[in-house]
Structure 1
Amino acid sequence: MSKNLLEQLREVTVVVADTGDIEAIEKFKPRDATTNPSLITAAAQLPQYQGIVDDTLKGARKTLGAGATAAQVSNLAFDRLAVSFGLKILEIIEGRVSTEVDARLSYDTDATIEKARDIIKQYEAAGVSKKRILIKIAATWEGIQAAAVLEKEGIHTNLTLLFGIHQAIACAENGITLISPFVGRILDWYKKDTGRDSYAPEEDPGVLSVTQIYNYYKKFGYKTEVMGASFRNIGEITELAGSDLLTIAPSLLAELQATTGDLPRKLDPAKAADLPIEKIHVNKYEFDRLHAENRMANDKLAEGIEGFTKALEQLEKLLAERLVHLEAA
């Protein structure tokens, strides 16, 4: 019996689950898992995870005491909830979980560093080594500089909302552990910009972007891992077979699992070594210049930070409402 696409993908790429849904992680058994504010907010509203939300709120109340206001309690619970989900996920997987710094700090290097250290302290207080945590930070110049400091402290980072080669090179030059270039969001932008309804997988702009980054890293021997993210269809995933990692939503994991056929490796370090690629250095001046020239990356980075910020605001509201319900009961 031939292997399904998911089985074949696991042979050449580390498969990561892109979800806050613990039941989905139990089903697909990925090595690693990633979350973001939108995923945590969605999971927190599911009935089966109300216990995690309630326990986090109760823990925040216990920490602050009876004299704390509802706003203070919900704010502390908000800071802790992503870690609460991360701890549950780490009970299932053998690898790492990515937990994101507040997107509203994306242009503040010092605040990002402080928040990342706090997240690690929460995990360590629960008995989890920082080796199993990737701190997710938006790939702004300020975020990359924060990540560089954290990496030197032994805190591993995952630079997200990455849309351009300039962001990727800056991450590699600053010793970042892993990057998450977004595939589907790049496709979304080009479809809107060009008016095209679709792209074949091999010419998908998001696929081409990740392929360019992967080849650049392997050509010049960078240790930073490439983890393609934000997929719209399984064609994008199969075109990136061979990437160091791919983080995939449960619905697409299920589709890969239900599909049979050959899955050739598309990305390969040996092939990258022979490509005629020019090496460039990205300092702040070059980063800002290249970012300004790249309309897609400029638009999608700003849009992504705004979207995650809205998700966080929704989560804050949800927690405040749930606290009122709990304490009234």
Structure 2
Amino acid sequence: MNNIKVNQLEQLKKYTKVVVDSGDIDFIRKYSPEDATTNPSLILQVVQSKKYESLVQNAILYSKKKCKFLNSRIKTCIDKIIVEIGIKILKVIDGFISSEVDARLSFNKDECIKKAYELISLYEEKGISRSRVLIKLASTWECIQAAKELKKDNINCNMTLLFSFAQAQACAEANVFLISPFVGRIFDWYVTKNPTFKYKLGKDPGVESVKKIFDYYKKYDYKTIIMGASFRNVEQILELSGCDRLTISPNLLNQLKNCYKPISKKLLIPKKKLKNLNNILTESDFRWFHNEDLMAVEKLSEGIKNFNSDQLILESIISKKI
């Protein structure tokens, strides 16, 4: 009889593709995820680490060769850092790397498309196929339409900062590759509004939001991948076991790796599927339904602002180095 214990991380991998939410190569190598994601906050941590000093210096030299003016050099340098970190990560994973577009472009479809091509070109310069890269965009109407256009040229997107069902529906109808609903940030908002209320296991608003999206996508056979993100505790992760993907921070991965309690698959795909609905959201529909969800309005705005704040700090650091 086999009595070998299996930790929760390995158990989870049987039901869900695990993604590491980190820009640190050593963490990623340690947890052997399928995919990995980065964002401006994680790239900022990388730039401030002595471990990646040579990578940053090489990106600065690259930007000086390519660009004449300081502003262009800063932007090119940051893009190069994002891509070089992505390439390092791709050497230790089998799947995708998600690289994020500047948050300030979140309401400009054409500029998002332009930036996506710039990032893809930097990857392809180094021999990395676009088939291994996901361009991360905020789940605004403009970015969703940008993702729809980019997919026509085999550039797939990871739609981040997703909080409302309207965002999820619009992404599915645009046939985008992947969405990242933010479990923890949804939970945070409700806890802040009602700090004394105790949610039952599996019933917190962030978990419930992903379950609703999962049931809807699978019932109507939408192909968009659901990747739960932004977790506050292991319990939230385990309640979404069976989700297509889950992107998890190193500290929570460590907790999963050191716990051997058995887990079960919580999200199940229905055996009977229905044809896709004909209710295509118009832009005005999307804006109305999203606007009806105060949590989603506030958290999307906050998320874009916070990523932009980290982007500005990043630009300041690079400016001084250049």
Distance in 1, matches of 2:197 and 2:85, equals 37
* RMSD across aligned positions (CA): 1.8
Q: Is residue 23 of structure 2 the alignment partner of residue 20 of structure 1? A: yes
Counterpart in the other structure of 2:76: 76
Residue of structure 2 in register with 1:292 after alignment: 291
- Superposition TM-score, scaled by structure 2 size: 0.95
The AA in structure 1 aligned to 2:137 is I
2:88 is aligned to 88
2:64 paired with 1:61: yes
Give yes or no for the alignment of 1:312 onto 2:311.
Answer: yes
How far apart in 2 are the matches of 1:23 and 1:70? 33
Identity %: 45
Paired amino acid for 2:305: E
Q: How far apart, in 2, do the equivalents of 1:311 and 1:131 lie?
A: 28
Q: Which residue of 2 aligns with 1:101?
A: 101
Contact 2:218 2:273 in 1 (8 A): no
Q: Which residue number corresponds to residue 153 of structure 1?
A: 153
| Structure 2 CA distance for partners of 1:196 and 1:143, relative to 1, 3 Å | farther
Aligned 8 A contact 2:144 2:174 in 1: yes
Deviates more, 1:227-236 or 1:41-50: 41-50
Where do 5+ consecutive residues of structure 1 fail to align?
324-329
Shift of 1:76: 2.0
SS of alignment partner, residue 241 of structure 2? coil
- Give how far 1:44 is off: 1.6
Q: Secondary structure, in 3 states, of the residue corresponding to 2:270?
A: helix
d(CA) in 2 for partners of 1:238 and 1:278?
30
Could you tell me which residue of structure 1 aligns to residue 188 of structure 2? 188
- Structure 1 residue 322, shift from structure 2 partner: 2.3
- In 2: Cα distance, 1:76 partner to 1:222 partner: 36
Summarize deviations over 1:212-238 as a string: whole Å, max 9, x none.
001100000000000000011000000
In the aligned structure 1, how far is the partner of 2:146 from the partner of 2:164?
A: 19
| SS of equivalent to 1:134 | strand
1:161 match: secondary structure: strand
Cα distance change, pair 252–146 in 1 and its aligned pair in 2 (3 A): same
Which residues of structure 2 form unaligned runs of 5+?
none
Deviation at 1:60, TM superposition (A): 1.4
Structure 1 counterpart SS, 2:199: coil
How much has 1:201 moved relative to structure 2? 3.2
Q: What pairs with 1:249-288 in structure 2 (closer than 5 Å)? A: 249-270=249-270, 273=272, 280-288=279-287
Q: CA deviation at 1:117?
A: 1.0
Residue deviations 1:28-86 (CA, integer Å, cap 9, x gap): 1111000111111112211211121111112212333xxx4555433320232211111
Using a 3 Å threshold, how does the CA distance of structure 1 residues 296 and 280 change in structure 2: closer, same or farther?
A: farther
Q: Scaled by the length of structure 1, what TM-score is found? A: 0.93
1:36 and 2:39 aligned: yes
